[in-house]
Amino acid sequence: MSTRRALVAAMAVALLGAGAVARAEAARIETADTASRNASGKFGRGIVNVLTGWGELIRCPLEITQDRGRLLGFTWGPLKGIAMTVIRSVVGVLETGLFFYPLPGNYDPMLQPEFIWPGDIFIKDAAPPASAVR
């Protein structure tokens, strides 16, 4: 009987060990997948910022006009737009060129907002307000 118990115990240990190895392998694959997704996200963000950096020439005057009035929107807005166009384009080139390196910490965006237009502008426009739906 003791041989049988030893055999059952050895099989139980082997099965538990195999499960632990499988979980560790799954975690390693998931971590690698997450890292590649973050690196690819940084690469894509860089490409988008290089291609849409010129939009700051439109966005900055519009925002300044809405926040501070027309006079500053027509004077300070274009100057800020030119500066932000250069900044966003350079950051896009840096993020595209350094996409494999987790800079500045875990592939976070180097510039906020990470894209020229907020990510939810299309979502807000697509759904009617709750008060309109009855």
pLDDT at 72: 93
User: At residue 61, does pLDDT exceed 70?
Assistant: yes
Distances (CA, A) of 77 to 55, 80, 113, 126, 133: 12, 5, 17, 29, 38
- Please give the average per-residue pLDDT across 41-48, as a whole number: 90
Spatial separation of the C-alpha atoms in residues 26 and 34, rounded to whole Å = 12
Pairwise pLDDT comparison (103 vs 74), residue with the higher score: 74
- Please give the average per-residue pLDDT across 106-116, as a whole number: 85
Question: Six-digit token pair at 124?
Answer: 């807000």
Write down the number of H helices and E strands in the chain.
4, 0
User: At residue 12, does pLDDT exceed 60?
Assistant: yes
Instruction: Report which of 89, 87, 82, 28 is spatially closest to residue 53, judged by C-alpha positions.
Output: 89
Task: Return the ∠ at Cα 41 (arms to 40 and 46), rounded to 5°.
Answer: 95
Q: What is the pLDDT of the chain when averaged over all its residues?
A: 78
Over 17-57, what HEC string results? HHHHHHHHHHHHHHHHHHHHHHHHHHHHHHHHHHHHHHHHH
User: At residue 128, does pLDDT exceed 60?
Assistant: no
pLDDT at 124: 45
pLDDT digits (tens, 9 = 90+) for 63-96: 999 999 999 999 999 999 999 999 999 999 999 9
Instruction: Report which of 130, 46, 26 is spatially closest to residue 88, judged by C-alpha positions.
Output: 46
CA dihedral defined by 55, 61, 63, 65, rounded to 10 degrees? -160
